[in-house]
Structure 1
Amino acid sequence: MLYGLVSEALGLRSDHLASIECFESLRWVGNYYPPCPQPELALGAGRHIDPYFLTVLVQDNIGALQALHENHWVTVPPLEGALIVNMGVFMQLISNDRFKGVEHRVVATGVGPRLSSAVFFRPSKNYKNKPYGPVKELLSPNNPPLYKETGVLDFLACYAKRGADVNSVLPDFRI
């Protein structure tokens, strides 16, 4: 499973993130962007970082997804059969900044319509008040926790209030 690969990339057992209920629920979103007659004047979706642990995205052959890399917007070229995996803000919190939330946007195009499909991996609503913080196995005297524990509902409320910019959300949870 995908969560096994992410757990292993963090240096954890392959079932670790599943065992702490990070991937108990999925949310699916389908996006439709009609062709834009003046794409230079519009955005398909503004810059943001997804709030949950992980997002898996399938985009069509038109593309238009861009990721922020070293303060420059880079177009993510569509590749047939490929999945795009973005880390979310909550993954940044529990990984103690080992993984960074991916800031991205969708630019408008005159070509279209554009379709994409995203699946967000998140805890179950049964765990909405469960405290999540930096994974203890990732911490050490040389790598102390950067964030306090928070429940998913509190985190999402802050995300909704502050906006989807990681620089405006995570400071509220810094120790």
Structure 2
Amino acid sequence: MVDTLLHQNSVQDALDNDREKELRVFDDTKVGVKLLVDNGIVKIPQKFVIPTKLSSQTLSSGSAHLQIPEIDLKGIHEGGLRRKQITIEEIRHASETWGFFEIVNHGISEDVMEDMIKGIRRFHEQPIEVKREYYTQDMNKKVRSVSTFDNQAKAVSWKETLFCTMAPEASNPEELPAACRYPSS
């Protein structure tokens, strides 16, 4: 019995080490998943696949009526109870339950929002050599691009993310990728 457990643990350790090595190799390329897609990948690498047991649990535990949580910032500048309700209760609940949420009444114009989306799209459509400059797992960098940021998860994130830290101190505009700095005409 003990031998069987030791063997299972050593096999699991080897798999974990292989997974860590595979993730490190993938991350060291600094190219992300877009390169895989651009190169015509036909099979999703195992590190991005949610195990069947976990996948079926996630799907069956959900509700048939799904709605993205909406956080309404109306009245947040008035402070008091509404500010506490938004910042602590609603955002925490949405984050813990969904991992994301939609914010409304934030005061940012649609034009600015559209320009941000266009800038992000321009960033991700750039040649790999340009994007590599921003690819890092260094959490101290105010501007960074990553593909995998939860390497402990059962399945690694299958997405590209550009982080631009704006609080408590905003990034210097010159630190931002050129594709994201100014709206295109």
Report the TM-score range of the alignment, normalised by the length of the smaller protein.
Answer: under 0.3
TM norm structure 2: 0.22
TM norm structure 1: 0.23
Higher relative contact order (CA 8 A, sep 6+): 1
- Relative to total residues, which structure has the larger strand share, 1 or 2? 1
- Relative to total residues, which structure has the larger helix share, 1 or 2? 2
Higher Cα radius of gyration: 2
